[in-house]
Amino acid sequence: MAELTLCSGSLATTPYYITGLGVNVYSIEELCYCLTQNAYILDQDLMDEKLCTFLEKQLKMKELADALKDLIDENRSVGEFVTTILTMTGYLGEEEIREVKQVLLDNAMLGFSQKRKARGDNLLKSRKYMLAIEEYQFILQNVDKAEETDLYAAVLHNLGTAYAYMFLFEKAAYYYREAADLNDNEESRIAYLMAMRLTMHKEQYEKLLLRHGYEEDFLAKVDKRMEQGRFGAEHSPYREAMEKIKGLKGRGKITDYYKAIDETLRDWKQEYRKSMNASVGVM
């Protein structure tokens, strides 16, 4: 994001609640921040005249409010609605606005659960693993597995990937296995065996392979992927913490091992929430 431009709005005495995002905003900067960070899940319900009233009465931005009312009356797209806000407030530069607009266009035809997945995927790519996990868990709790089987399985797989990148391979293996059992996807089965190999001694892993009777061609794909080192990049910010946790397991301190995992996950979760809140104030 470019350097923040000072906007002309005031600080509201009464916040505006963005229903689709579940947050309160008190200023135009907070509003713009929420829109850019959540472009993947914005929908037509954002185009509410109550928002226009908030901008006019609370933030003293009548010109922007009037422009947005016209877009609502003309039944324009949510993309135009958002880019109008970002342009008239000067919150982003032209290139950044084009990027946000492209995100809105790419996701215009997606359903709500698909948009939430897109947001989770973006967080995963940005290495914000705990936020991605929260997003994926939300989807699993709100999607009918029978009606959206492929999406559900894809979320399970990506949830496994988020845990794998944090070196929590047992958790990763669980979600990969769930995904593979749901849609019999080869990629999920490969990832499952990779995660299991990283949690088992060689003898245990070989017994697992024999028990399930995997074909040699398939196991060759797993071995090749393992050689490529798909999991656990050296620069991961979680590597040091997870090496200490794995040390507990290696010394046979299983109770301490699981306790350390839970405490580390809690700390990372709090860390991400603090970093998000610090950007715009507590919402």
Give, for all 283 residues of the chain, the pLDDT tens digit: 334 444 455 789 999 998 767 679 999 999 999 999 888 778 888 999 999 999 999 999 999 999 999 999 999 999 999 999 999 999 888 899 999 988 888 777 777 788 888 878 877 887 888 888 998 999 999 999 999 999 999 999 999 999 988 888 899 999 999 999 998 889 999 999 988 887 888 888 889 988 888 888 888 888 887 766 555 444 455 556 666 766 776 677 777 766 776 676 666 556 544 443 333 222 1
Please give the pLDDT value at position 232.
45
**Neighbour count for residue 33 (Cβ, 10 Å):** 21
What Rg value do the Cα atoms of the chain yield, rounded?
23
Please give the backbone phi and psi of residue 17, each rounded to the nearest 5 degrees, phi first.
Answer: -95, 120
Tell me the one-letter amino acid at 177: R
Q: Which residues contact 10 (CB under 8 A, 6 or more apart)?
A: 27, 58, 59, 60
Please give the pLDDT value at position 261.
65
C-alpha distance across the termini of the chain, in Å: 20
Residue closest to 139 by CA, chosen among 154, 122, 124: 154
Please give the pLDDT value at position 266.
66
Please give the pLDDT value at position 248.
72
Please give the pLDDT value at position 228.
65
Class of domain 112-237: mainly alpha
Please give the pLDDT value at position 233.
44
Q: Sort strands 23-25 and 16-18 into parallel, antiparallel or unpaired.
A: antiparallel
**Neighbour count for residue 272 (Cβ, 10 Å):** 18
6, 25, 63, 141 from 2: Cα distances, Å? 12, 21, 24, 35
Please give the pLDDT value at position 272.
45
Domain boundaries of the chain, sorted by first residue: 16-109, 112-237
74 token code pair? 């003309």
Q: Are 150 and 187 in contact (CB under 8 A)?
A: no
Question: DSSP secondary-structure letter at 228?
Answer: T
